[in-house]
Structure 1
Amino acid sequence: MDGTNEGAPERAPGSAGRRTARAGRRPLRTALAVAVVGAAVVGALGALPDAAEAGAPAKAPAATAGAALPFTSQEAEDATTDGTVVGPDHTQGTLASEASGRKAVKLAAGQSVDFELKAAANAVDVAYNVPDGQEGSLAVRVNGEAVEGELTTTSRHSYLDTPWIAGSTTHHLFADTRLLLGRDAAAGDTVTLTASAETTVDVADFEQVAAPAEMPSGAVSVVDHGADPTGAGDSAQAFRDAIAAARGGTVWIPEGDFTLGSELNGVSDVTIQGAGNWHSVVRGSRFVNQTQSAGNVHLKDFAVFGDVTERVDGNPDNFVNGSLGANSSVSGMWVQNFKVGLWLTGTNDGLEVTGNRILGMAADGLNLNGTAKDVTVSDNFLRNTGDDALAMWSLNAANERCAFTGNTVVQPNLANGIAIYGGTDITVSGNLVKDTNALGSGIAVSNQKFLDPFFPLSGTITVSGNELVRTGALNPNWKHPMGALRVDAYDSAIEADVRITDTTVRDSPWSVFEFVSGGGKGLAVQNVTVSGATVENTGTVAVQAETRGEVEFSDVVVTGGGAAGVYNCPFPEGSGTFTVRDGGGNSGWDTEWPDCATWPEPGGTGAARG
């Protein structure tokens, strides 16, 4: 969790307690101070302190969980190649660990990967990596015939260091590059990518992009106010003038490439619309930056590419920083290479964020940073974020009745896929989260406050119908696992009614359901029910209980279990007990890890007691 909030305190130094082993006893846990950076907070440290912690194209059918996407993703490791498959790996900082599916294909100069299309496409976006300090290209052929143009590659946005975050290493290894093919390729056709120099290809997103939309009647074009569609000149003032002229109506961004040398503010009561996010492109590392707005702002159907190459938490290097105001919306956007996609403070009540792509953030994808009411974030695709992909943080005032629904999150490479830090009557439903890395869970429901005034979880927290694939992490600093789904009484006991229902968890590298008081205070996790979960292939345990409390489980079915069913070791010693209450219908996890002085290892290592 990160971003910028004007008027926040200066950066405070972080500290961390080290694990101290005692012979024959469970390791001692000490308190962890979270690094606070300017107005920004690192959400990746929410684990135990001693341990680790326009004419829209037709959409493909939605999966059981996740967004309905206008493209088809195809993994390089499943394609034909003369390159080398790397992975699988879960060690932060390696190429494979930060690839979707934990695998990718490394190409030497002249080597290729051939994708047989699963659906018609006229465009491709590729997640790739090149060695630090290098640049190159991927030549593109369709059925052996070269297309005009190439996919340019660079290491510029791939190597980020966050030394103030305990346990982090160089990360954010993959970047995105995209190209319109200039022809329609059919399902079954072959698209070949050939590297000019060493390049690792993770995944290719193939899309049938619609023709540019036409300008709405009555709209005000930024070009008519002096904007340069070639990108050579600075169009920021032209955008401001168009916004002022269009108040109450629509600003039109036509097909073209526009450079903004400075951010926009005073944006209210206006729609800013493009011809489609493959056609209308804005370049600049800050787009909207304002503390308040009268609202009714609608951003839709264009792309904004930043050029953020390092995470500086005191800088508002975000697509949207602050407030869009009440009853606003963000839809059909392509947002790439910022620090944060949307860092939302001030008034954003009734905001709808839907159908967007958020790629390559140095920190969060989206964060509701307190005071938000009735916000819906749905049907978005987020990949390769450097902190929580989607977060709600109830600082200054509680987020109320807000929902993350039907989103797809892939490779949040430093923190959680979805994180809820406090708030009232919050919903997390129908989301697909895949491949978390290093310091987070697929979904975290937490009372970690970071700063005051913080408003803990209250009312009903609904976590329903989510699918978690290869989620959870081994914190590299503390060597301690974090569950695929975590409920954390970090700074205060869980008093809200937390209902976790109809969850699917597949191929979890470590544990599945974790219940913890991450501040080391032994605060209670209570009023929690888990019902209707399908768990397939667990690295260590189904339930990782590390604080006192009680959770009822029903209809939780585990196949391919790990070392044991339950790890039940509340901390601190003597603080109380954790009760696993059987609500019936459970199977496949009726054993218990016997030794609280050791952690289960993935793959079923160690003896369990029945």
Structure 2
Amino acid sequence: MNRALAAALLALPLLTAATPLPATAHHRQAGADLPFVEENAATSPHARTNGTILGPDYHYGTLAAEATGRTAVQLTGQGSYVSFRLTRPANAVDFHYALPDSLHGGGITAPLHLYVDGHAVTALDLTSQYSWLYGNYPFSNRPSVGKPDGQVPHDFYNDIRYRFDRTLPAGTVVKLQIDPGDNAPWYVVNTADFEQVAPPTPRPDGFTDVTQAPYGVDNTGTTDTTDALQHAIDALSAAGQGVYLPPGRYLLTHPFDVDRVRITGAGEWYTELTGKNFGFAGKQDPPSTGVEITGLALFGDVGVRDDSNSQDTGFNGGFSDSHLSHVWIQNEKVGAWILGPSRGLRIDHLRIQDTTADGINLNAHAGPVADTTVSDTFLRNTGDDGLALWSQNAPDSGITLAHNTVDSPVLANNIGVYGAGADITIRDNLLQDTVTRGGGIGIGQRFGSVPMTGPLRITGNTLVRTGQWDPGWDQGTGAIWFDAEQGDMTAPVELTGNTLLDSPFAAFQFKGDPYRVAGVRITDTTIRNVGTYVFQEQAPGSATVARTHASGVAIAGQYRCGDTFTLTDARGNSGWRSTSCSMPANSPLWAYPGTTTFEAATVGTATPAQKVVLQNTGTAAHTLRRITASPGFTLSPDRDRPCGTRLDPASATDPGSWCVVDVAFTAGHEGITTGSLTADGTTVQLVGSTDPLGGSGGDAPPNLALDATMTASSALAWFPATQAADDNDGSYWESQDGLPFPQTLTADLGTPTDESRIVLTLPATWGPRTQTIEVQGSLDGTTWTTLAPATDLLFDPATANHVTLALPAGTHQRYLRLVVTGNTGWSAAQLSEFQIFA
């Protein structure tokens, strides 16, 4: 792209987070038919707080930028609260919240007290176990801060729900407050969803209660009931009976195979399926048919994205002539991954929250996905696209996405279309608050998808604050954007009656080169408040525009740096005819993470330093004039990327455009200390706390090698280097038998990292042996330094075949290499785990 556009996108003024949403003239208001009333803690007229209002903010890596409405309330210190006055009766609430991560990743747990009309009713058990991702895609739980195109901490939010013991009348005040014992350094509350939950649904006629004999499925949550429930599903399916799951908690450990079966629970608030690696699995090629599932909730245990594991998915596989409705899915990898061939599926009234990958993906992998409808579904904080149509090897066709609400996808688009067959309709959806690397609606010839055939109809949708900065491309993404990355896109696309509000960057973007985007017709569109351009033209091709009106445009109607793209004015337009190919030279710095937290500090002792990145977002070089921190927080030059006096112009590839500041905290007293780091007017929040950590994440440092790239000088078939970093002592790496020593095993951590020790293991059942091993380190993979000389290391089953080696103080390397020159137990090098600790 032209560097002029990339340079100052982040410099644009923030847009309002409270623009009212218009109703679509010929339909009910865009979005899902939701059972709850949502109150934003920062902007609702029914909310009150003595905490800190964050945002509105559009900078990737901040707590506000990932929140619905780009605003939230932060609570810090005893007595800090946020309250909500009910506008209608409710007996249940779901809070969308954030907590800091632990020192070593993996999350903390902390209580927060819930009040009703001034009386404490419970302490909610909040956790960040399912939040905070780091590093490059597909990310990890290991804290790191670094290069802007891949090492920005993100994914901050989770949800917790609570059912009151009675119906609270309108006017009741529900409050969250920090009380003694609520020991997180800070709490952030984004939204509160209040609803009136109906009584449990009794067993319908034709259904069998599987908790009764002869099935005996446990609904107390104390024992693994997976096999018992699978047996009941199989038996009742064969008998033509439905499966009824009464209120309770069902502990599960692997997916269920479902085909020609009806399963119903007592309701999403009463029947809870919980555990690891579970979901409903449809058959593939041919798909399952006649599956009906409703009235239950799936609460997974997925805190990191693992693309090799499809078991932690709510619905996975093929489902034809089936119906999935009124299911709550949370903390799974994916809500529903529907694989082709599949036809005649209806999905409606799902609530999908806090996944590490897509909300719903209709993936034509082994055949087409056809005649499928997704409607009245609510999706929030999905780790990838909220709704995706991926015509991977065959077309998606006859698809309707209607009246859905998609909020805050952490990565990619609210709705993504990748290739497409005929007759696709996307209508009357409410799409809000894209976080990064996507827009409200993304239409692309990407990811190896089949060519689009069309027509693709996009009508009556409302997009609010959609599109966001993409640090990998060093540019903003449009609210609705076309990406001809892998081929021409000339199929007919009709965009009619859509409303685009408060787009932080462009309203429409056309991206290609050398591939074309054509066949696009835009009519009857309302565009209000645009951070850059109405039309961002970066591809050859053309579009026709009629009765499209824009106002509040920050730069110009069209970004045009050449004549390769043609906009045909078909009359009735206003507000977008001006053109520009320039951006302001000077822009504010982008600083992340937006909040840096120092936990479990000791009074009078400096904590380990944490990193804050400063990135120039302007077309001109930036002179760094002043970087300061509040009392109690000290700054020092970073070892690898210290800040000098100059930052190069914005660039995703120029390392001179960003630098790192190291920050440490010294507590002057017990409790919480708040402050800030300020760099030329850009501010990062700093929070120090002496309170102890909660949760498992603070108990032990992580094994850094689990996120490393492992290579070896040689490997025996079926015993690759990766098995030395798979967190499994039972598997192992073995060099090719009989090859001469030395043999090497290398871990690439991706970025220079502080290391203090390594632990080497073999399977605990193996007999003793001695291996001679040297440890080397390198910053570039070329020049190596000896960190521990060649030493005879005894692997003894009496100590579980574990060996620990301390590294020299100050070790700070990207690569660690083991050089094995002998093994008394075998004619090759052998290791189960090569563990590395900070």
Which TM-score applies when normalising by structure 1?
A: 0.84
Return the match for 1:276 from 264, 267, 278: 267
Contact kept in structure 1, 2:259 and 2:282, CA below 8 Å: no
Specify the code of the residue in structure 1 equivalent to 2:126: T
Q: Aligned ranges for residues 142-541 of structure 1 at < 5 Å? A: 142-147=116-121, 149-161=122-134, 163-164=136-137, 166-167=149-150, 169-195=152-178, 196-197=182-183, 198-224=186-212, 225-247=215-237, 248-265=240-257, 267-285=258-276, 286-292=278-284, 293-320=287-314, 322-370=316-364, 371-424=368-421, 425-448=423-446, 450-451=447-448, 454-517=449-512, 521-541=513-533
Query: 1:26–1:462: structure 2 CA closer, same or farther, 3 Å change rule?
Result: closer
Contact kept in structure 2, 1:277 and 1:333, CA below 8 Å: yes
**Any idea what the Cα deviations from partners look like across 1:100-153, whole Å, max 9, x if unmatched?**
111111112431111011221100000111111221122222211233x43210
Looking at structure 1, the residues matched to 317 and 352 of structure 2 have their Cα atoms a distance apart, in angstroms, of 18
Q: CA deviation at 1:428?
A: 0.8
**Any idea what the Cα deviations from partners look like across 1:508-559, whole Å, max 9, x if unmatched?**
1111011111xxx321111110001111111111000101111011111111
What is the DSSP-based 3-state SS (H/G/I as helix, E as strand, rest coil) of the residue aligned with 1:101? helix
Which segment drifts farther, 364-373 or 130-139?
Answer: 130-139
Specify the code of the residue in structure 2 equivalent to 1:385: T
Specify the code of the residue in structure 2 equivalent to 1:579: T
Q: Aligned ranges for residues 9-88 of structure 1 at < 5 Å? A: 64-78=29-43, 79-88=47-56
Query: 1:123–1:580: structure 2 CA closer, same or farther, 3 Å change rule?
Result: same
Contact kept in structure 1, 2:220 and 2:250, CA below 8 Å: yes
| Highest RCO, 1 vs 2 (Cα 8 Å, sep ≥ 6) | 1
Q: Aligned ranges for residues 542-561 of structure 1 at < 5 Å? A: 542-561=534-553
What is the DSSP-based 3-state SS (H/G/I as helix, E as strand, rest coil) of the residue aligned with 1:301? strand
Looking at structure 1, the residues matched to 494 and 415 of structure 2 have their Cα atoms a distance apart, in angstroms, of 16
**Any idea what the Cα deviations from partners look like across 1:422-453, whole Å, max 9, x if unmatched?**
111211111000000111000011111x23xx
What is the DSSP-based 3-state SS (H/G/I as helix, E as strand, rest coil) of the residue aligned with 2:234? helix
Query: 1:72–1:119: structure 2 CA closer, same or farther, 3 Å change rule?
Result: same
Residue 100 of structure 1 corresponds to which residue in structure 2? 68
**Any idea what the Cα deviations from partners look like across 1:466-521, whole Å, max 9, x if unmatched?**
1000001111233201100012222111121100011101111111011111xxx3
Which segment drifts farther, 200-209 or 212-221?
Answer: 212-221
Question: Which structure has the larger Rg over C-alpha atoms?
Answer: 2
Looking at structure 2, the residues matched to 145 and 385 of structure 1 have their Cα atoms a distance apart, in angstroms, of 34
Query: 1:250–1:168: structure 2 CA closer, same or farther, 3 Å change rule?
Result: farther
Query: 1:598–1:404: structure 2 CA closer, same or farther, 3 Å change rule?
Result: farther
Residue 44 of structure 1 corresponds to which residue in structure 2? none
Residue 48 of structure 1 corresponds to which residue in structure 2? none
Looking at structure 2, the residues matched to 168 and 298 of structure 1 have their Cα atoms a distance apart, in angstroms, of 42
Specify the code of the residue in structure 1 equivalent to 2:137: W
What is the DSSP-based 3-state SS (H/G/I as helix, E as strand, rest coil) of the residue aligned with 2:579? coil
Looking at structure 2, the residues matched to 414 and 396 of structure 1 have their Cα atoms a distance apart, in angstroms, of 23
Query: 1:27–1:68: structure 2 CA closer, same or farther, 3 Å change rule?
Result: closer
Query: 1:163–1:27: structure 2 CA closer, same or farther, 3 Å change rule?
Result: closer
What is the DSSP-based 3-state SS (H/G/I as helix, E as strand, rest coil) of the residue aligned with 1:243? helix
Contact kept in structure 2, 1:234 and 1:260, CA below 8 Å: yes
Which TM-score applies when normalising by structure 2?
A: 0.62
The answer as to 2:566 corresponding to 1:579 is yes
Looking at structure 1, the residues matched to 219 and 314 of structure 2 have their Cα atoms a distance apart, in angstroms, of 22
Return the match for 1:118 from 70, 87, 97: 87
Specify the code of the residue in structure 2 equivalent to 1:237: D
Question: RMSD between aligned alpha carbons?
Answer: 2.4
Contact kept in structure 2, 1:220 and 1:245, CA below 8 Å: no
Aligned length: 538
Gaps of 5+ in 2: 8-23, 103-107, 139-148, 590-617, 620-838
What is the DSSP-based 3-state SS (H/G/I as helix, E as strand, rest coil) of the residue aligned with 1:68? coil
What is the DSSP-based 3-state SS (H/G/I as helix, E as strand, rest coil) of the residue aligned with 2:228? helix
Specify the code of the residue in structure 2 equivalent to 1:578: F
**Any idea what the Cα deviations from partners look like across 1:294-344, whole Å, max 9, x if unmatched?**
311111010000010110111114334542431011100000001111111
Contact kept in structure 2, 1:540 and 1:600, CA below 8 Å: no
What is the DSSP-based 3-state SS (H/G/I as helix, E as strand, rest coil) of the residue aligned with 2:69? helix
Looking at structure 2, the residues matched to 176 and 588 of structure 1 have their Cα atoms a distance apart, in angstroms, of 41
Return the match for 1:590 from 577, 602, 613: 577
- The structure in which a higher percent of residues are strand is 2
Query: 1:208–1:458: structure 2 CA closer, same or farther, 3 Å change rule?
Result: same
Q: CA deviation at 1:82?
A: 1.2
Contact kept in structure 2, 1:529 and 1:551, CA below 8 Å: yes
Query: 1:601–1:577: structure 2 CA closer, same or farther, 3 Å change rule?
Result: farther
What is the DSSP-based 3-state SS (H/G/I as helix, E as strand, rest coil) of the residue aligned with 1:232? strand
Looking at structure 1, the residues matched to 362 and 135 of structure 2 have their Cα atoms a distance apart, in angstroms, of 22
Looking at structure 2, the residues matched to 392 and 524 of structure 1 have their Cα atoms a distance apart, in angstroms, of 21
Looking at structure 2, the residues matched to 180 and 599 of structure 1 have their Cα atoms a distance apart, in angstroms, of 51
Looking at structure 2, the residues matched to 418 and 27 of structure 1 have their Cα atoms a distance apart, in angstroms, of 24
